[in-house]
């Protein structure tokens, strides 16, 4: 293990014991089943996703020309949850989805931004130019996937949330294949591209960071709702290809330990991470092509929200700008949420209505930037994957 990827190993072991070793090993693990499937599917070019969909929906026997590697991947998908687990997952997912725009803010200003902390984890994005090229569209695609996943029943095998999650997993494998073939990847220094350790940290960002941030914003969750949401993400993580050794850690306590472990062992943000954070916030502020004054105001609010949700140390390392308007966000946002929650409680509004309203508002926001968050093509079109095959690795920093 290169010291450039796993720092402070002795302290990590002292604090977190077995988890530290599990994480260190995970950095060097990818997703063999998905990687093998993608290697076999690559010659099919634009036909690969319809083939996967048919195999998923009708069974592998319905696809006579399906390679055995695809059959192995389909056979390995996690079993359906029990009815009791399904009920818990739906309750937890609904509790978060009802937050609507607030959940969207957490996704944009915290769950995605914190990934830029680790330079090795960000190398695939930097090398492929995936964020600097049409940043808004990529962020909207991530939001569209999140929406499909959080629709009622979104993780059922016949729903688009499930199918799109498998799509994300295969896209990760396509990107790994292209990066490995580029000759520009240093496995010893950075681990595997889109490795198990980095993938699990994304799950932490979508689960623990989401819940913690919404609570900071003023939302309240029962212990059962939080337990259900972690169960929801444990099943999602399995579908995304997170290995079995890591799945038991998808709970509140261990995700908190993993967060500390990640921050302790990963090198802090470099120039690319800082630039990606700025690009993300600037692109979000420019949605809808607002007037310059409005754009500056939106940018200040987004910076303030990011600093509020990620905290001083992380925000300073990522060089998130400090603004007067942004500093007011916590003093305005949390009371407004508390008041809204109180009024909703008095009115007896049902959770299902709140979920539908929250999902609808997020979907409208995505549609405004040209991404329709329905179906299974919201993540990446086959043409994008073909274009990725032509990318040239960025030159190393001087």
pLDDT tens track for 127-173: 876 555 567 667 777 888 898 899 999 999 999 899 989 989 998 99
Indicate whether 1 belongs to any domain: no
Q: What is the pLDDT of residues 276-308, one digit of tens each?
A: 899 889 988 887 777 889 999 999 999 999 999
Q: Find out whether 200 and 218 touch, Cβ atoms under 8 Å.
A: no
pLDDT greater than 60 at residue 205: yes
**Inter-axis angle of helices 48-58 and 32-41, nearest 10:** 120
Q: Is 265 inside any structural domain? A: yes
* Predicted model pTM: 0.88
Class of residue 339 by CB neighbours under 10 A (exposed 0-12, middle 13-18, buried 19+): exposed
> Does residue 309 sit within a domain?
yes
- pLDDT number for residue 359: 53
Residue 121: domain span: 9-30+77-388
Whole-number pLDDT of residue 374: 43
Residue 70 lies in a domain: no
Distance CA 258, CA 253 (A): 9
Quick check: is 42 in a domain? no
Distance from chain centroid for Cα 232: 14
Domain membership flag for residue 398: no
**Banded model confidence at residue 382, pLDDT cuts 50, 70, 90:** very low
Provide the number of structural domains found in the chain: 1
With respect to residue 57, please indicate whether it lies within any of the assigned structural domains: no
Q: At what angle do helices 48-58 and 68-76 cross, to 10 degrees?
A: 50
Does 282 map to a domain? yes
Which band of pLDDT confidence, cut at 50, 70 and 90, is reported for residue 353?
low
């Amino acid at each position: 293990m290169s010291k450039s990827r796993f720092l402070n190993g002795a302290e990590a072991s002292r604090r977190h014991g077995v988890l530290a070793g599990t994480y260190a090993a995970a950095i060097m693990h990818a997703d063999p089943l998905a990687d093998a499937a993608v290697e076999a599917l690559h010659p099919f070019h634009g036909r690969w996703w319809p083939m996967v969909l048919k195999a998923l929906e009708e069974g592998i026997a319905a696809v006579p020309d399906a390679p055995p590697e695809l059959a192995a991947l389909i056979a390995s998908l996690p079993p359906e949850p029990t009815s009791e687990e399904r009920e818990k997952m739906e309750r937890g997912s609904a509790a978060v989805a009802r937050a609507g725009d607030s959940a969207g803010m957490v996704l944009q200003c915290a769950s995605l931004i914190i990934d830029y902390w680790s330079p090795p984890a960000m190398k695939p994005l930097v090398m492929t130019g995936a964020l600097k090229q049409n940043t808004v569209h990529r962020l909207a695609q991530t939001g569209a996937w999140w929406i499909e996943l959080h629709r009622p029943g979104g993780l059922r095998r016949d729903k688009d949330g499930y199918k799109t999650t498998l799509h994300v997993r295969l896209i990760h494998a396509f990107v790994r294949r292209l990066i490995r073939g580029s000759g520009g990847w240093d496995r010893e220094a950075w681990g595997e591209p889109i490795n198990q350790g980095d993938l699990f940290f994304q799950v932490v960002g979508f689960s623990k960071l989401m819940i913690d941030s919404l609570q900071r914003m003023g939302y309240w969750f029962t212990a059962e709702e939080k337990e259900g949401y972690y169960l929801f993400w444990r099943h999602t993580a399995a579908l995304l290809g997170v290995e079995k050794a890591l799945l038991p850690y998808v709970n509140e306590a261990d995700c908190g330990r993993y967060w500390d472990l990640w921050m302790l062992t990963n090198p802090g943000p470099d120039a690319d991470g800082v630039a990606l954070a700025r690009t993300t916030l600037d692109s979000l502020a420019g949605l809808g092509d607002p007037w310059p004054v409005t754009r500056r105001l939106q940018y200040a609010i987004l910076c303030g929200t990011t600093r509020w949700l990620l905290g001083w140390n992380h925000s300073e390392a990522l060089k998130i700008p400090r603004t007067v308007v942004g500093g007011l966000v916590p003093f305005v946002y949390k009371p407004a949420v508390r008041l809204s929650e109180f009024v909703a409680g008095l009115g007896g509004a049902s959770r299902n209505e709140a979920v539908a309203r929250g999902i609808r508002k997020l979907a409208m926001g995505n549609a405004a930037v040209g991404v329709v968050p329905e179906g299974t093509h919201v993540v990446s079109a086959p043409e994008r994957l073909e274009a990725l095959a032509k990318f040239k690795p960025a030159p190393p920093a001087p």
